[in-house]
Amino acid sequence: MSVNKPDQNKEKSDSIKENEISQLKMVLKLFKLFIFSLLRFRFYLPGIPEIKVDKLNDLIESDQAPLLIDTRDETEFYGNIGLSYGKKYGHIPNAKLLPLFQLSANLGHLSSFKDKEIVTICPGGGASLVAGEIMIKAGFTNVKSLRGGMNKWHKKGYTTTTDENSEDMIYFVEVDKTESVKDRPEIVDGKYIGELHKTLDARNFTCPKPILMSKKTLGKMEIGQVLEILTTDPGSKRDIPAWVKVTGQELISAEDNNPKEFRFIVKRLE
């Protein structure tokens, strides 16, 4: 039978206390770092004006709505997943989707709005300040950030929508990438014996982008021509056949090349 000596017990107790103090110090350091980061962030963007959600809602209801630029990703914008905050409330009606990381590359598409009132939107009001700074530096003269972002808008109970509309999207860099569309004047495998005029590579894009890309590409093709569409979004197994049916085209083939890749062959009829 082993017996702990008093000195050993004291050393063990001191070690536990020292460990607890070290953990507390670490938490305090992280908290101080967080506060410093917030203060530094606010100091770094001192000149970006903000608009409260109440004021923005008043403008919208009085038909004086500014141009709304939503800088979130598509899943948050359309309320499909809401990865960052677990929300599913979509976007403000008539807002335009322009993700923050694509903003600089697409400002040319907004050149006609340089003097119009613009409100940038994000989940909590931080990223929209960055978006506002980018736009102001690019020559936009009347840009505000929505204070509190969509979280505050939702808490106030103001109107949101999850409707998907191609007009919601105003960025074109990825959708219009010419390298993703290839001419295919050739006879292909036995699953479809015939001529493919173009192949649209929409792999690694999520809903609704494969639909938007397919619609745009097929719209540029002649009646009777055939488009091959390649995707990795499981939702496209439902969305593309439904889109083909609604628009009056012909779905020649829909197949799974493997569990993660899907292939559709669509003929333009009108």
Asked, colleague to colleague, whether 50-168 and 178-267 share their fold, the answer is no
Rounded Cα distance, 58 and 52, in Å = 10
Topology of domain 50-168 in CATH is Oxidized Rhodanese; domain 1 (3.40.250)
> How much is the pLDDT for 52?
95
> How much is the pLDDT for 65?
92
Mean per-residue pLDDT, 24-50: 58
Rounded Cα distance, 146 and 55, in Å = 10
Is pLDDT above 90 for 193?
A: no
Note whether 153 and 146 are within 8 A (CB). Answer: yes
Coil, strand, or helix at residue 95?
coil
Decide if 207 is catalytic.
yes
> How much is the pLDDT for 137?
86
What's the mean per-residue pLDDT of the chain? Answer: 76
Q: In percent, how much of the chain has pLDDT > 70?
A: 67
> How much is the pLDDT for 9?
56
Chain centroid, CA 195 distance in Å: 36
Tens of pLDDT, residues 11-23: 555 554 454 555 5
- CATH number given to 178-267: 3.30.110.40
Question: Domain spans of the chain?
Answer: 50-168, 178-267
* Backbone φ and ψ of 250, nearest 5°: -115, 125
Mean per-residue pLDDT, 208-233: 86
Rounded Cα distance, 75 and 143, in Å = 25
Tens of pLDDT, residues 89-137: 789 998 998 888 778 777 877 888 899 999 999 988 888 888 888 899 8
> How much is the pLDDT for 163?
79
Quickly list DSSP for 131-186.
HHHHHHHTT-SSEEEETTHHHHHHHTT---B----GGGB---TTTT-GGGEEEEEE
> How much is the pLDDT for 44?
44
Pick the catalytic residue: 100, 143, 207, 212? 207
